């Protein structure tokens, strides 16, 4: 599965109810596959290729870590503790990803 397909899967598994009233930008710097960001705005989710000027949180990882987290094989918190995932910005927002997207 390509990184673009992983993000398409994330977008398809979006939980609009959990995003009601939110206005956030999750940026993903995939070290070996480019940068993408998800714009969450009051129950909608839009995937954009490239960087955002003012992301709420930026998650930095390689494509294997991303694929593992989205497939449910890798726990995001364990990846963070193991140094496979880094976060910049509002790190508490990273914990919301599990609520906003059904993984696995």
> pLDDT at residue 60 above 80?
yes
Distance CA 38, CA 55 (A): 9
Calculate mean pLDDT across residues 23-28: 96
| Weakest-pLDDT range from 7-11, 42-46, 87-91 | 7-11
Q: What is the pLDDT of residue 97?
A: 87
Cα angle, residue 102 at apex, residues 98 and 103 outer, rounded to 5°: 80
The DSSP code sequence of 27-55 is EEEETTTEEEEEEEETTEEEEEES--SS-
> pLDDT at residue 63 above 90?
yes
Q: What is the DSSP letter of 19?
A: G
> pLDDT at residue 45 above 80?
yes
Q: Is the pTM here over 0.85, yes or no? A: yes
Distance CA 77, CA 49 (A): 25
Which of the four pLDDT bands, split at 50, 70 and 90, describes residue 98? confident
Q: What is the pLDDT of residue 104?
A: 65
């Amino acid at each position: 599965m390509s990184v673009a397909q992983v993000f398409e899967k994330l977008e398809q598994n979006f939980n609009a109810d959990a995003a009601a009233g939110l206005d956030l930008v999750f940026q993903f710097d995939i070290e070996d596959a480019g940068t993408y960001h998800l714009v969450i705005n009051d129950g909608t989710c839009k995937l954009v290729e490239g960087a955002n000027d003012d992301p709420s949180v930026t998650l930095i990882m390689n494509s294997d870590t991303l694929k593992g987290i989205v497939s449910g094989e890798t726990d995001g918190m364990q990846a963070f503790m193991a140094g496979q995932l880094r976060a910049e910005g509002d790190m508490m927002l990273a914990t919301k990803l599990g609520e906003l997207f059904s993984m696995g």
